[in-house]
Amino acid sequence: MHLLLAAALLPIGLAVILGRGEPAKTISCLGLMGVVCAIAVATLLGAARRRIGMGPSTGGA
């Protein structure tokens, strides 16, 4: 349970530190982290699909 709490609070703590405590910068930093995480997850899912053969067809005969 403590590990889950730490994993949830880590991005918030990083955003506060990177945003230097200013609310607008902190929210912007959290938004940017969310976008980066979404891109990373999409990339990993695409790689996993290709690896197990569920990706788009390459048109092989």
| Cβ-contact 60, 46 below 8 angstroms | no
Residue 58: strand, helix, or coil: coil
**What confidence score (pLDDT) does residue 43 get?**
93
Q: What is the pTM of this model?
A: 0.61
**Taking the chain (61 residues) in consecutive chunks of 10 residues, what is each chunk's mean pLDDT?**
82 84 86 89 89 64 50
Measured between alpha carbons, how far is 49 from 42 in angstroms, rounded to an integer? 11
